[in-house]
Amino acid sequence: NLLANSNIKEKVELNVITDRYGYMLLNKYIKRNTEKYLRKLSIKTNFFEWSRENLENVCLNSDLAIIPIDLKDPMMLGKPENKLILLWRMGLPAIVGGTPSYIKIMKEVNQNNYITKKSDWIPKLNELIDSKSKREIAGMEGFNYVCKNYNKEKFIKKWENLFNSIGFSI
């Protein structure tokens, strides 16, 4: 556990929002109780089962989001940026695993809060934990980006372009 063996162990309280059960071994063979697993960690951790309400409540009471990605898993490299967009929509700054989609969107916002090497997690976490102003700026930049690029008008335009590209005129 990277956090448990670091100098920020006492500064961090993890709020994990996910499914109650997850599967290991090809994501379908060995069922694991997430809450039980989290209790074994040597860092203060709170489990919240995935729901829209839990996401909103936890994000409103959090300073920073972490989206860890196992970059050694080729399947994970194709993950889209939807979680980050969701967090930014709530104004929450985030540190993310350096998948191509996360790196692309972070660069569009002029942020470098993505991690490509395991050894970079703790320094980046320390940087944002220790600076309220950096967290506020990162959250606001993300929020502004989402408002500008992921609004209703943009979605309607993308759908129009899609239909036009296949010969339907809207």
How many angstroms separate the CA atoms of 14 and 44, rounded?
Answer: 6
CB 89 within 8 A of CB 146: yes
Distance CA 64, CA 87 (A): 9
Output the pLDDT for position 123: 94
Report pLDDT for 165: 87
pTM recorded for the entire structure: 0.82
Three state DSSP letters for 25-46: HHHHCEEEEHHHHHHCCCCCEE
Could you give the residue ranges of the DSSP H alpha helices within 90-131?
A: 100-108, 121-129
**Rounded CA separation 93/109 (Å):** 12
Q: Give the torsion sign (CA, 8, 10, 15, 20).
A: positive
**DSSP conformation class of 2:** T
127: Cβ contacts below 8 Å, ≥ 6 apart: 134
Structure-token match 């008008």, residue found: 153
pLDDT tens, N- to C-terminus, the chain (170 residues): 677 667 777 788 889 988 888 767 666 677 888 888 888 887 888 999 999 999 999 999 999 999 999 888 888 888 889 999 999 999 999 999 999 999 999 999 999 999 999 999 999 999 999 999 999 999 999 999 999 999 888 878 888 888 888 888 76
